[in-house]
Amino acid sequence: MKFTCQGLELADAVLKVVKASAIRTTNPILECVRLSAEDDKLTLMCTDLELTIIKTIKADVSIEGEAVIPAKFFAEFVKKISGEQINFNLIEGNIMEIFYGENKGIIQCQNADEFPEPKQLETPKKLEIKSNDLKDLVVKASVAVAQDDSRPMLRGILLEAQDGELRGVALDGVRMALVKKPLINQEDFGIVVTARSLMEIVKLLPEKNETITILTEKNHLKINLENTVLITRLLGQKSDFVSYNQIIPTSFQTNIVINRQKLYDAIERASLLNLTERNHIIKFNIKKEMLTITSESQQGNITENIPIEHTNSDLVIDFNGRLIIDCLHVISDEFIKMNFCGVMSPCVITSNQEKEDYLYLVLPMRV
């Protein structure tokens, strides 16, 4: 194996694929990047057996072949060779010689045969979606993904393609996020993918709002982009996930419309008083055209008043302020709706615009 490529292009590609390499694993080959030189291309691949990222760049290949190099070292190394041409030469003993400028590195490679092959999809289901819609769906849904490992399925986002839209659903026992985006083309499916894989995948989507194709078959999801292939194992099927539709209340006793930024600022200030406590309990008091938020601790108390549009009953209800802040953080609407069905039932937050493309559900605190 012998090839030459541009340092900047290589560094960019390595930094992208390395996100899929394993950290602290018992199988050191998963902490490596596989380099494959063929025709006039170099293909880089990392995988931790869950997420696989493959990127192809131009290269001047004089001897085709494969090599497997420690990924973290390689990424740092090529990042620090700024803008130069780099020559690679695999010699006996599985040793890679790297020449750059006047300098030379010699790196012990692993056996390329032991590196796992990327999963091939035979007859996958297919859907087409705008890349910005997929990004937005993942960012907004991942807010509600469980952070602990007690129920692994809740570390995932349910992706459900149905009725011309893609739904992303995540929940962690105290809140739920449901995000809907239009599909261009679709075959029905319902799969669960880890939030971590989806977050890495959307970071690699093109900046321009392009139509992308998602392929899925049995246990895998695959996205083909220009020069990049993303594959992730599924965490499960729709049937493994919580039946989320049953959780969403259908009738409400109290409905308000409120300025999102004002609500955000008020909860942020009110939460300061009990920062050291585990739960940031704040009290919502909805009365006439005003929401009064209060919090109390040994240090003192804070009272915040926000004007609202309000229909139906008054209400006093307690929340963990952090749960509401988290969802307000990913919404960009100027005004939002908050719908309540009593002091022991969840609050449902939606857009105040006609097209409701997200829904957050937050359980109250029982004080």
Positions in the binding site for its own copies (CB under 8 A): 70, 73, 76-77, 80-82, 95-96, 102-108, 265-266, 268-269, 272-273, 275, 298-306
Using the minimum distance from each CB to its own copies, give the nearer residue, 272 or 343.
Answer: 272
Using the minimum distance from each CB to its own copies, give the nearer residue, 80 or 218.
Answer: 80
Q: Classify burial at 23, counting beta carbons within 10 Å of its beta carbon; exposed 0-12, middle 13-18, buried 19 or more.
A: exposed
CB 227 within 8 A of CB 43: no
Q: How far is the CB of 293 from its own copies (least distance, A)?
A: 9
Tell me whether strands 175-182 and 300-307 are parallel, antiparallel or unpaired. Answer: unpaired
Query: What letter does residue 64 receive in the DSSP assignment?
Result: -
Q: How many helices and strands in the chain, by DSSP H and E?
A: 6, 28
Q: How far is the CB of 278 from its own copies (least distance, A)?
A: 17
Q: How far is the CB of 312 from its own copies (least distance, A)?
A: 23
Question: 């600022």: which residue's tokens?
Answer: 265
The full DSSP string for 84-113 is: -EEEEEEETTTEEEEEETTEEEEEEPBPGG
Using the minimum distance from each CB to its own copies, give the nearer residue, 56 or 297.
Answer: 297
- Separation of alpha carbons 144 and 195, rounded Å: 10
Question: 């991942």: which residue's tokens?
Answer: 142
Q: How far is the CB of 210 from its own copies (least distance, A)?
A: 36
Using the minimum distance from each CB to its own copies, give the nearer residue, 111 or 303.
Answer: 303
Q: How far is the CB of 213 from its own copies (least distance, A)?
A: 38
Using the minimum distance from each CB to its own copies, give the nearer residue, 137 or 291.
Answer: 291
